Amino acid sequence: MTVTIFHNPKCSKSRQTLALLQQQGITPTIIEYLKDVPSVETLGQILGLLDIEPRELMRQKEVEYSENNLASADLNRDQLIQAMHDFPRLIERPIVLANGKAAIGRPPEDVLKILV
């Protein structure tokens, strides 16, 4: 089984989720998404796997959210996904992909359900 984590090593929930995966005997592919920014296409796929809308994957308290008026109802799905690509700090973390599924590690235990 291939497991991928979109990881921010400065985030405690991300570190806890990575540790939880490792405790399960899993060595995931680690993508530090702030350095290796996911493409617009990848973000769209992740949203599809999570079955959520872009704003549900956005950290709305980040400065980039307010500075770029991302709360505007005039913005469409593609524009919001592009904003996450342009400002990756907006992406909620960590995100784990496994078995054709995705989960956000908030709390970290939420990722366990996609490992079976």
Name the residues annotated as catalytic.
Answer: 11
Nearest to 62 by CA among 3, 8, 5: 8
CA nearest to 10, candidates 22, 21, 2, 18: 18
DSSP string across 25-59: T--PEEEETTTSPPPHHHHHHHHHHHT--GGGGB-
Phi, psi of 69 (to 5 degrees): 50, 45
Count of C-beta atoms within a 10 Å radius of residue 111 = 28
